[in-house]
Amino acid sequence: MSNFTIIPLEGGLANVEGFYCDAVNVGMRPNSDQGDVAFIRSKDPCDIAAVFTTNRFQAAPIQHFQRYGEDFQTDFVLINAKNANAMTGEKGIEDIDTIMSTLSHKLTVTNPVMSSTGVIGYRLPIDKITSAFDNFDFNAKNSHKAARAIMTTDSFEKELAYRIKLEDGSHFHLAAICKGAGMINPAMATMLCFIITDANIPKADMDALLHEGTEHSFNRISVDGDTSTNDTVMLLANKESGIYHKEAFAKALKDMMFDLAMMILKDGEGANKLVAFEVKGAKSDKEAKIAATALSNSLLVKTALFGEDPNWGRIASTIGASGVTCNDKTLTIHYDDLLIYSDTFRELDKEREDQAYKIMKQEQFTVTCDLGIGEGSYTAYGCDLSYEYVKINAEYRT
């Protein structure tokens, strides 16, 4: 196994060679110093890989992107908040062309793409958006401003950057900005993620690794089972460094996407806890995924987490309701290393209940459910659901 080092860096997108970014406020967020339109561009055209929402009503920017065909290069991504440009029909796609046509008078761009988040069902304010082109600094590296501009209900910016150093001293970079979904309001708070790299990565690896990374990160976090019209994960590679190492890149991308997913979870509206739901011993990986996802999505479970109520009944009930093969005689449930349910240990005694409380008071912990049936396993990630209404439910048992 070859050696490489992944070094976290401050400064987000600014670390990656040949990329520029900026954001301005064009009046879609009135009376705010927070931007509402941002761009990410590369001085040379980039290969691009993308994963989009599975929602049948894909927003106009996604349809616009797909019209470029399978393999195209781009050097410009325009991003706006406050308006999703979704369910706007052919006009919504034409609006993007109009905007990009205006852009081309200011800057030479190749196959520019767009990404939007906000309210569904309204045409983009074209004049406002194109006014950004007079105010952008196209040679800036204002990663933080861009990360802030794409936020909706997010309470903090999400940006990460890594330098990946290889054994021979050469290195390349990977960086990302990302915005999350409010826990209650996912389709209004689309998940957008833009990852850029100067690694000399082949297009085939970009596609494969981005899909694999998505499956291990954003697809494993609970957004209440809803999928927005706009969800987008993009990877842009301008190859500027000339350096590539597949194993190192794969590890760095996977880590980065996982960390971004955890940042989204932590920023779930009112969320206080991050919980890994590990299901093992399932009949198949598929059944493990069904059960784990059901746990991370369950309001029952989320309210119990908030109430720090070691009520494993909600865990068991949710597994049973998910329809997977299970048996109360072979099932075991652990909170971290604490056995909380098994066939011979069904009723929680005071001592274990106190231990469970301590575990649940942590900001992060793991709920492991071994179904004791087969070899299938899957881990999904969720958070608690707070607010006064939840309090009512969390206190139900007392």
User: Binding residues for a copy of itself, per CB under 8 A?
Assistant: 54-58, 84, 86-89, 91, 119-123, 153, 182, 184-188, 224-229, 269-270, 298-300, 303, 311-314, 316-321, 323-326, 328-329, 341, 343, 346-348, 386-390, 392-393, 396-397
Q: Which is nearer to a copy of itself, 199 or 324 (CB)?
A: 324
Cα dihedral: 250, 260, 148, 43 (round 10): 0
Residues 93 and 64 sit within 8 Å (Cβ to Cβ): yes
- Beta carbon of residue 153, minimum distance to a copy of itself (angstroms, whole number): 7
Q: Which is nearer to a copy of itself, 187 or 261 (CB)?
A: 187
Q: Which is nearer to a copy of itself, 217 or 322 (CB)?
A: 322
Alpha-carbon span 362 to 272, nearest angstrom = 9
Residue 190 falls in the annotated catalytic set = yes
The structure tokens listed for 286 are 């598929």
Name, in order, each residue with C-beta under 8 angstroms of 93's C-beta and a sequence gap of 6 or more: 60, 63, 64, 67
Q: Which is nearer to a copy of itself, 86 or 210 (CB)?
A: 86
Burial of 289-310, coded b for 16+ CB within 10 Å and e otherwise, reads bbbbbbbbbbebbbbbbbbbbb
Alpha-carbon span 104 to 241, nearest angstrom = 27
- Beta carbon of residue 298, minimum distance to a copy of itself (angstroms, whole number): 7
Q: Which is nearer to a copy of itself, 10 or 343 (CB)?
A: 343
Name, in order, each residue with C-beta under 8 angstroms of 31's C-beta and a sequence gap of 6 or more: none
Alpha-carbon span 347 to 78, nearest angstrom = 56
- Beta carbon of residue 16, minimum distance to a copy of itself (angstroms, whole number): 33
Q: Which is nearer to a copy of itself, 111 or 393 (CB)?
A: 393
- Beta carbon of residue 377, minimum distance to a copy of itself (angstroms, whole number): 19
Residues 193 and 235 sit within 8 Å (Cβ to Cβ): no
- The active-site residue, picked from 130, 152, 190, 303, is 190
Residues 66 and 105 sit within 8 Å (Cβ to Cβ): no
- Beta carbon of residue 397, minimum distance to a copy of itself (angstroms, whole number): 6
Strand 113-116 with 73-80, pairing? parallel
- Beta carbon of residue 212, minimum distance to a copy of itself (angstroms, whole number): 23
The structure tokens listed for 266 are 């932590």
| Amino acid of residue 146 | A
Task: Please list the helix, strand and coil fractions of the chain in percent, rounded to the nearest 5, in that order.
Answer: 35, 25, 40
Task: At 60, give phi and psi (nearest 5°).
Answer: -55, -45
Supply the residues annotated as catalytic: 190
